[in-house]
Amino acid sequence: MLPVILSRLQFALTTVYHFFFVPLTLGLVWFVAILETMYVRTGDETYKRLTKFWGKLLLINFAMGVVTGIVMEFQFGMNWAGYANYVGDIFGAPLAIEALLAFFLESTFLGLWIFGWDKLSKKLHAAVIWLVAVGSSLSALWILIANAFMQHPVGYVLNNGRAEMVDFGALVFNPKAWIMFEHTLASGLTTAAFFILGVSAYHLVRKQDVEFYKRSFSLASIVGTIAIVLVIIGGHEQGLWLLKNQPMKAAATEALWETEDPASFSILTIGDLSGRREVWEIRVPRVLSFLYYNQFTGEVPGMDDLQEEYQMKYGPGDYVPLAVFTYWGFRFMVASGFAMLALAGYTLYYVMRNKVGPQIRWLGLFVFTIALPYIANTSGWVLTEMGRQPFIVYGLLKTEDAMSPGLTSGMILFSLIGFALVYAALMGADVYLLTKYAKAGPAAAETESAALE
């Protein structure tokens, strides 16, 4: 296989894997911060137990995010030296700032939080977890600012054969970055909420520690409902942004080949093996126009027309992304999102009537719906990044021109297999531990000596 394909596979593998852990950390840390604050304010020991229990699951997950994160930073240079040379003047800045502002904050204070229970006052200890929460959200913000430049380059000029920064403010306030930040942070909170709902449901069904898990369930229900609504609003904003700035990606999420006005929404399209032509489909007329324009008319350009337009703009080449990934990525994401909205609303109904407990109907189902946010997070990123192809920086640099010179397929294959094996083994160990502690409940988090880190 070509080095560029292998490098993309490796980047996809390591990124998807990394982002398997990140959203839970991003959301769960806020829950832990809220719980510890409740403990400090009320002095209620149950809140302390809640803090320690969910804190422990946070920590198991956090370590995985840290170690897989280093790989991300190194890979831009290892596999994509052409990219690093071309945009390093701009792209390196948010990465360095992320490390300086965010990574130091979260990792230093997390270490302090874990080992500092009897070394800091109650209030100071609670303040420390808030700093960790701020740190991890800041880290999300800066990496999204970097990613937003790849989606929508701003604040640069082309000079000396590379893109050079001329406006740091434009880079930081790239509208794409802030839409993504809202969407990502809310997704993190949703992920954590469904994680907590699932683990709590597991114990409530078995009538273990009912009071303890009732509180967890209720908090997750309230935060989760708000968060999933924000995710959907942010997602809709992203769609509107796409139509204006990345029409090809917008068309590819709908498998829309010809421009339509009014445009129909695809419920189901089955493509042929190349993923380039549909063989069978169901479409609802006018709905796509409605989604984009809030009225039942409005033009949505199709991929065939955009291909011609892009060739005029960027020169000869194939500008159509692999629609099978964008199309299905979008559908998996949206289906999971609305399923979560319904489920969160369902739990909120019990919370509002103060009827949370083992008697909730279909409670056991929530153990399995932990998978939903993970499906949505992964497919959302597959859509975002695959839909950008063939560009690595939209409109500026193609992925095939961004490679490191001198890398052979053999070298990349070797590292790809190495990462895959080690990551698979770690995934096994991590899921084993998370399951073990989630099932064991709060007692294990308290009695087991020295294990809380």
Looking only at residues 378 through 417 of this chain, which bind other proteins when binding is defined by CB under 8 A?
Answer: 404-407, 411, 414-415
Cβ proximity to other proteins, 21 vs 350, nearer residue? 21
- Exactly one of 1, 67, 282, 284 binds other proteins (CB under 8 A); which one? 67
How far apart CA 253 and CA 347 sit, in angstroms, is: 31
| Site for other proteins, residues 93 to 132, rule: CB under 8 A | 93, 95-101, 103-105, 107-112, 114-120
User: Which of these ranges, 61-69, 187-195, 223-231, 278-286, lies near other proteins under the rule CB under 8 A?
Assistant: 61-69
Q: Which amino acid is at 252?
A: A
Find the shortest distance in angstroms from Cβ 438 to other proteins: 12
Question: Residues 42, 122, 159, 261: which binds other proteins (CB under 8 A)?
Answer: 159
Amino acid at 347: T
Q: Does the footprint of other proteins cover residue 164 (CB under 8 A)? A: yes
Single out the residue of 168, 209, 239 nearest to residue 50, CA to CA.
209
Residue 89 is a binding residue for other proteins (CB under 8 A):
yes
Does 70 participate in binding other proteins (rule CB under 8 A)?
yes
C-beta closer to other proteins: residue 99 or 322: 99
Region from 243-251, 278-286, 300-308, 444-452 binding other proteins, contact rule CB under 8 A: 444-452
Does residue 16 interact with other proteins by CB under 8 A? Answer: no
Residues between 175 and 214 that touch other proteins (CB under 8 A): none
Q: Is 315 in the site for other proteins (CB under 8 A)?
A: no
CA distance 267 to 141: 33
Half-sphere exposure of 28 (CA within 13 A, CB side): 25
Distance CA 178, CA 322 (A): 27
Q: Please count the other Cβ atoms lying within 10 Å of the Cβ belonging to residue 332.
A: 18
Note whether 60 binds other proteins by CB under 8 A.
yes
Among 121, 274, 354, 449, binds other proteins (CB under 8 A): 449
Residue type, 284: V
- The answer to whether 295 touches 318, Cβ cutoff 8 Å, is no
* Region near other proteins per CB under 8 A, out of 32-40, 70-78, 253-261, 287-295: 70-78
Angle at 43 between CA 37 and CA 46, to 5 degrees: 85
> Does residue 79 interact with other proteins by CB under 8 A?
yes
Nearer to other proteins, 316 or 406 (CB): 406
- What CA–CA distance (Å, rounded) separates 308 from 5? 25
Residues 244-283 that bind other proteins (CB under 8 A): none
Is residue 317 a contact point for other proteins (CB under 8 A)?
no
Q: Does 435 bind other proteins (CB under 8 A)?
A: no
Cβ-contact 340, 376 below 8 angstroms: yes
Closest CB to other proteins among 46 and 107?
107
In order, the DSSP letters of 36-84 are HHHHHHH--HHHHHHHHHHHHHHHHHHHHHHHHHHHHHHHHHHT-HHHH
Residue 323 beta carbon to other proteins: minimum distance, rounded to whole angstroms: 32
Q: Nearest distance from residue 56's CB to other proteins, in Å?
A: 9
What radius of gyration, in Å, describes the C-alpha atoms of the chain? Answer: 23
Say if residue 239 is exposed, middle or buried (CB neighbours under 10 Å; 0-12, 13-18, 19+). Answer: middle
**Token pair for 410:** 């053999």
